[in-house]
Structure 1
């Protein structure tokens, strides 16, 4: 298989790339577990903090992983599906929120500052929404590839961990469409209230997704075509950033339902493509737990959050930092002169 890297030239590159990715370093993981078992605590007593340290060790290929630089990326896009009345807010809110991010006034700004992450906000052709997927493909192949490449290009090569978030009026409908296309089941089981849809708004979401799935049923249902026909630019950019991070062995913290749904097409192409990803938090959007069960992951936090914009992922960064502080800073039984067993 020919090695594929960014920038991609076609969606066929996406399929090849997902099947040619670095794997976790099991030797480094074993060394990290050995250290955990030697620290001044009963084995396993720090629970998931221990698991997180071992996870980081495997991707950083060292028994004592560390976070020198945490990068946070928020991608923003607009969606043609809003023409179906699926959101109570106008699309102008996307650009307004992007300005709020850039001015430092959003939740993600405070959480990145508190947890020491360098935040960048990338708006993707906000004046040119994707197409309405009930009428045709959401993106052309060229637009989809361009967004994938934009996401990959935004990654800082020196990042120790990547936090991902999104912003886009209408993208909870896009997320539900992506997950329904990849994993099947009743459309209504994937649909939530998003930014505040009422019962009639939920009905419009379900109807739009159902019609979109029917329109594109004849399209080859691989992850790349699902992303192009039903996704948005920010979803494609998230996929690009996730894959670029994997090529550099940089662990990723995904945010809630929309962010996790964005990478569902990658899971469809190759489930192992998400092995380097953590889920920051469990969203109260009803599709998120169903999605995590489908991809075999458990969120770091469950704080009843549903804001998006990377907020849950940035909050989970603090937990990850704590896990590594215990892993590297605690004394072993031998160092502390404490009897072991």
Structure 2
């Protein structure tokens, strides 16, 4: 598998950035989290004047064998139908990326459907969906590594085209199930606290989902709880591909916009492989999916927004992007006390 050279962000510039922030025409700290984002963006890019170029959301789609066991109220076919919706510009993520001048890329990571050669779709299929991990590992280790490498290659190309700020979304019926198990095993949190309602399960459906996932974890109780082993046993092709994409983005010095529950589960795996990736991450929102708050706490992450969203697709990252732009713009464009001729405090 490809190795990723992710250096920790050099903090030597932090003092100069903080000085620039503190000398803007405002009381100290009065822009709150925007000041922290400005500092982080400047440190990632190693400049006092960071720039956001060709912001992009990459949506990875993949099917899950566990969907056929009854853990979701929606049939597996919805995955490929939603991919067509993305390609036609009709999904939530299309609306928000259009609104904020962001690019969107849609990737077939492993949908159980033959798209042929569809314009606008990045064809990176590893398989026709994963296996049901109720009975066998979701994917082989070879497939897992292939997905990681394909995700990295996609981001490498996007970066070469000039993008330096990137968010990741996903589509895959039953992928909250994979995310919940990944979270439970990698964070050492009881599974029941990680499982949520996904696409809208009622109480009976939630109880059934908990029972099925508990049985699946018990079936694989002998596995090593290493990031790649957990990912290959319980993950999805879209989650594995997103993990590789995130690692490559950090290796390229890009700002990573972390979306919700499933995207953060991919980051859990990625950070288990290289903790320095977290230096490059802005956590855009706290999903309304049960478990995300605990997942963020495990990563010591403070999300920008809490809007009760749980759509996925990268929508939280897209909705939060204007705030990141505001942070960079105030750092670059807001007058200092000296330049504006405004008296600073005595």
**Normalised TM-score (structure 2):** 0.91
Q: Does 1:139 align with 2:143?
A: no
Contact 2:110–2:238, Cα closer than 8 Å, also in 1: no
The answer to whether structure 1 residue 231 and structure 2 residue 220 are counterparts is no
What do the CA deviations read for 1:263-285 (whole angstroms, capped 9, x no partner)?
21223334333221111111111
The offset of 1:184, in angstroms, is: 2.1
C-alpha deviation, 1:164, in angstroms: 0.8
Q: How does 1:22-171 map to 2 (within 5 A)?
A: 22-127=7-112, 128-155=128-155, 156-157=158-159, 158-171=162-175
Give the deviation of 1:125 after TM superposition: 2.6
CA contact (8 A) 1:80 1:129 kept: yes
The residue number in structure 1 matching 2:278 is 274
Asked if the contact 1:181/1:213 (under 8 Å) is kept, the reply is: no
Runs of 4+ off more than 4 Å: none
d(CA) in 2 for partners of 1:34, 1:336? 16
Q: CA deviation at 1:256?
A: 0.8
Residue of structure 2 equivalent to 1:340:
344
The CA deviation at 1:124 is: 1.6
User: 2:6, 2:274 within 8 Å by CA — same for their partners in 1?
Assistant: no
> Is the partner of 1:314 in helix, strand or coil?
helix
SS in 1 for 2:225: coil
**In 2, Cα distance between equivalents of 1:204 and 1:274:** 35
Write the distance in 2 (CA, Å) between the matches of 1:268 and 1:246.
14
| Residue-by-residue CA offset, 1:157-182 (whole Å, 9 max, x unaligned) | 12121111100000011110110111
Distance 1:99 1:176 in 2: 27
Unaligned ranges ≥5, structure 1: 1-7
How many residues align? The count is 326
What is the Cα deviation at residue 138 of structure 1? 0.6
Aligned equivalent of 1:200, options 201, 204, 226: 204
Return the alpha-carbon distance in structure 2 between the equivalents of residues 236 and 165 of structure 1: 12
The alignment partner of 2:170 has SS state of: strand
Matches within 5 A, 1:4-19: 8=1, 17=4
2:213 and 2:232 map into 1 onto residues whose CA distance is 15
Q: Deviations over 1:281-300 (max 9, x none)?
A: 11111100011011110111
Q: Which of 235, 242, 246 pairs up with 2:246? A: 242
Q: Provide the secondary structure at the position in 2 that maps to 1:305.
A: coil
Report matched runs for 1:319-334 at 5 Å.
319-334=323-338
Deviation at 1:71, TM superposition (A): 1.3
Q: Is the 8 A contact 1:267 1:295 kept in 2?
A: no
Work out whether residues 80 and 132 of structure 1, in 8 Å CA contact, stay in contact via their aligned partners in 2: yes
Is the Cα–Cα contact under 8 Å of residues 36 and 50 in structure 1 kept in the other structure?
A: yes
1:297 and 1:270 map into 2 onto residues whose CA distance is: 16
After TM superposition, the structure 1 stretch with the greater mean CA deviation from structure 2, 161-170 or 213-222, is 213-222
Deviation at 1:212, TM superposition (A): 2.1
Give, in whole Å, the separation in 2 of the partners of 1:209 and 1:338. 61
- DSSP-derived class of the 2:230 partner: helix
Contact 1:253 1:313 in 2 (8 A): yes
